[in-house]
Amino acid sequence: MQSNLLLLSIIFPIIAGIIVLFLKQSSIRKAFIATSLGVIVLLSLIMLATLKVPDIFNFPAYYNGMDLAIKIGDFALLFYVLYISFKIKEWRATFFAVLQLVPLIYFEFFMLKEHEVAMFFVDELSIIMNLIISIVGSLIAIYAFGYMDHHEEEKHVSPTKQPRFFAIILVFLGAMNGVVFSNNLMWIYFFWEITTLSSFLLIGHDQTEEAIKNASRALWINMMGGVALLLGIIFIYTNYNTTSLAEVLSIKDATYILLPMFFIAFAAFTKSAQLPFQSWLLGAMVAPTPVSALLHSSTMVKAGIYILLRFSPLFRGTLLSDFIAIYGAFTFVATAFLAVSQSNAKRILAYSTVSNLGLMIASIGLNTSSAIAAAILLLIFHAVSKALLFLCVGTIEQHIGSRDIEDMKGLINRMPVTAAITFIGILTLMAAPFGMLVSKWLIIEVAANQILISIILAIGSALTALYYTRWIGNLLSGTYFSQHSEEHVNPTVGISLYSLTAIAIALSFIVSILYNMLVMPQILTMKMDVVLKAVRGYLYTPAGGFTIYPIFITLGIAIVLSLISIRKSTKVVVKTTPYTAGLNYIEDNGYNVRNYYLTTFANEGTLTRYFNYVSIALIAVILGGALI
């Protein structure tokens, strides 16, 4: 029964995706997709409720069929990538595809001695990932209903390419479930490559020159990651004679594990778009907004974090782990710097995604039980809030035709609903008492005796506060004399924005329940002592504690007081214009002051180059850590 559920959560989205390809009529297609998404969400909730984890699930009757299908799939996929790379003349992709094909052929036909391994390995981490993929992923897909209609209208796409679009999204979700549930490392590799391929197809969806260029960059960088993952698996097999994740995780003798771990970490870095691979994620923004939301929040980039978290017990307490922490912290602060210099909202979000992923990688590298807990909490909160923000920016862009935060000045008057939701979304990403900040607090406390890392983290968090605060200021700027307009929110867009906002706030509110139910058991599964405890909104370690409800209460009191203050004073209040030292204030031309972007010491081009050099050096250091 339970293996059925797991199998279904992978196969169902893929089959649904294939069916969508053939549904030409818009209303039928939408109904079908909505139902499928409902099933996906339902499946994940049922699994959350019924699955006893951690455990191995097997389904012998289907094993051989599945395994064969995946083997054939592996080759089909690589040949397809070869075909694409010839078509778009992206020789780097060809190179890395060949680099995968050769070892794959050797491994599959000459090395691998067939033996059946269990199909699924599921623990709380898989369940968490599955929930994020299913719920956040589905909400993004729902949003795409409204968005894509508008998008195609705008770009005059006819006949509609939506069947293809939604088909790939569904396959993508299925493949992500495959990555997080599979026990056979070769299966993980296969699903990993599917996510690469589908992200290529999604980024290139609009088929403009820029889209194809950026999609091919995403393809070759992720193919490079695929090479690393494959090599990691082969090295594990040579040394330990197994491709079963559960067996790998219970390896006692860790002498030969570090080199494969380096390769797996490398794969994770490419997938999570860490420096110097960040360019593919930044380029991914040419795609329709739901794609960037999907890549940035719940799926693609989180696969990298997942795989690193998954293997983290194997390199706990090693030099490799310390170096990974430094590398992650560096990415965190470097991309935060880059984000400061940006005025393009999507680029700010993209850099902040890379930055937050760096923070997660840093805390995985710290590898203590609280650090892992912090990484998992960040993973959850980041997925929800970032998805929300991307969808908001997409909505704003369709409305005002710009994604520049300078053009978002006074948005609260033009698009009150979306601007308010964006404001809340930003708050949940940066301010106490919301989950992201609580996790950040935890990481800084965990890292406190590693001076280098904690100095970096302190600077990075200040930078984060900088670029989000001024965005809030821009969104909410306006006077009583600004032109106010009503906003019509597309129903499907509304559904997903409202639900994501509700989830973001609710999850922060129940952070202690979330921790006790899902994160703490995972820490135990990873055989660590639980240091962080949580009771009724109070998270504490022996060294310190964070309590969230007083801050929620403060927020509540502030809202009530200001409502009273505004309402009571409607009679006596004077609605005035901004102070302009006696000059006439004219609402429309206003006196817009551009934000400070610190471009003199945060110039994107130069900085990126230097940061890339440093990060390459750091990766070399990590390799050194694996070899010593």
Partner 1 sequence: MTLNEVVIFIAAVVIAPFIGGFLSGIDRKLTAFIQGRYGPPIWQPFYDVIKLLYKQKLLVNDFQVFSAYMYLLSAILSVGLFALKADLLMILFIMSVGLVFYIAGALSTKSPYSQVGAQRELMQMLAYEPMLIFFVISVYNVTGSFNLAQIMTHGRLILDLPLMFLLLGLVLTIKLKKSPFDLSASEHAHQELVRGILTDYSGPYLALIHIADWYEMILILAMIAILWSQNLVIGALIALATFFMDIVIDNITARMTVKWMLAFSWSISILFTIINIAYIYFRR
Question: Phi first, then psi: what are they for 548, rounded to 5°?
Answer: -95, -30
| 252 secondary structure, DSSP code | S
Q: Which of 401, 447, 457, 396 is nearest to 426 (CA)?
A: 396
Alpha-carbon distance of 583 to 21, in angstroms, equals 62
Alpha-carbon distance of 313 to 296, in angstroms, equals 26
Residues in the chain: 628
To partner 1, the closest distance from the beta carbon of 406 in angstroms equals 12
Binding mask 155-194 for partner 1 (x = CB under 8 A): ----------------------------------------
Q: Which is nearer to partner 1, 28 or 452 (CB)?
A: 452
Q: Which of 21, 531, 551, 614 binds partner 1 (CB under 8 A)?
A: 551
Q: Does 472 bind partner 1 (CB under 8 A)?
A: yes
Q: Which of 25, 451, 584, 628 binds partner 1 (CB under 8 A)?
A: 451
Q: Does 470 bind partner 1 (CB under 8 A)?
A: yes
Q: Which of 38, 60, 544, 624 binds partner 1 (CB under 8 A)?
A: 544
Q: Does 455 bind partner 1 (CB under 8 A)?
A: yes
Q: Which is nearer to partner 1, 325 or 463 (CB)?
A: 463
Contact status, residue 427 vs residue 434, Cβ threshold 8 Å? yes
Mapped to the 3 state alphabet, what secondary structure does 164-187 carry?
HHHHHHHHHHHHHHHHHHECEHHH
Q: Does 531 bind partner 1 (CB under 8 A)?
A: no
Q: Does 437 bind partner 1 (CB under 8 A)?
A: yes
Cα–Cα–Cα angle for 201, 358, 463, nearest 5°?
Answer: 115
Give me the residues paired with residue 546 across strands: 539
Q: Does 105 bind partner 1 (CB under 8 A)?
A: no
Q: Which of 134, 198, 474, 615 binds partner 1 (CB under 8 A)?
A: 474
Which window, 87-95, 253-261, 265-273, 568-576, contacts partner 1 (CB under 8 A)? 568-576
Q: Does 569 bind partner 1 (CB under 8 A)?
A: yes
Q: Does 584 bind partner 1 (CB under 8 A)?
A: no
Q: Does 61 bind partner 1 (CB under 8 A)?
A: no
Virtual torsion, Cα 82, 87, 89, 90, nearest 10 deg: -40
Cα–Cα–Cα angle for 604, 380, 417, nearest 5°?
Answer: 75
Q: Which of 252, 449, 605, 628 binds partner 1 (CB under 8 A)?
A: 449
Size of the site for partner 1 (CB under 8 A): 69
Q: Which of 59, 256, 441, 509 binds partner 1 (CB under 8 A)?
A: 441
Q: Which is nearer to partner 1, 398 or 479 (CB)?
A: 479
Contact status, residue 128 vs residue 376, Cβ threshold 8 Å? yes
Alpha-carbon distance of 131 to 519, in angstroms, equals 13
What region does 274 belong to: left with phi over 0, alpha with psi -120 to 50, or beta?
beta
Question: Could you give the C-alpha distances from 35 to 38, 290, 510, in angstroms and in order?
Answer: 5, 19, 29
Q: Does 565 bind partner 1 (CB under 8 A)?
A: yes
Q: Which of 459, 489, 524, 530 binds partner 1 (CB under 8 A)?
A: 459
Q: Which is nearer to partner 1, 245 or 463 (CB)?
A: 463
Q: Does 575 bind partner 1 (CB under 8 A)?
A: yes
Both structure tokens of 445: 């406390």
Q: Does 616 bind partner 1 (CB under 8 A)?
A: no
Contact status, residue 403 vs residue 396, Cβ threshold 8 Å? yes
Q: Does 574 bind partner 1 (CB under 8 A)?
A: yes
Q: Which of 469, 490, 516, 525 binds partner 1 (CB under 8 A)?
A: 469
Q: Does 614 bind partner 1 (CB under 8 A)?
A: no
The structure tokens 């972007």 sit at 597
DSSP sequence for 282-341: HHGGGS-HHHHHIIIIISHHHHHHHHHHHHGGGGTTSHHHHHHHHHHHHHHHHHHHHHHT
Q: Which is nearer to partner 1, 202 or 437 (CB)?
A: 437
Q: Which is nearer to partner 1, 236 or 447 (CB)?
A: 447
Contact status, residue 408 vs residue 592, Cβ threshold 8 Å? no
Extract the runs of DSSP E, i.e. beta strands, from 404-548: 533-535, 538-541, 544-547
To partner 1, the closest distance from the beta carbon of 411 in angstroms equals 11
Give me the residues paired with residue 539 across strands: 534, 546
Q: Which is nearer to partner 1, 238 or 576 (CB)?
A: 576
Q: Which is nearer to partner 1, 241 or 565 (CB)?
A: 565
Question: Could you give the C-alpha distances from 438 to 73, 260, 364, 429, 444, in angstroms and in order?
Answer: 42, 33, 16, 10, 10
Which residue ranges make up the site for partner 1 (CB under 8 A)?
Answer: 410, 412, 430-432, 437, 441, 444-445, 448-449, 451, 454-455, 457-459, 461-463, 465-466, 468-470, 472-474, 476-480, 542-547, 550-551, 554-555, 557-559, 561-562, 565-566, 569, 572-581, 590-593, 595-596, 600-601
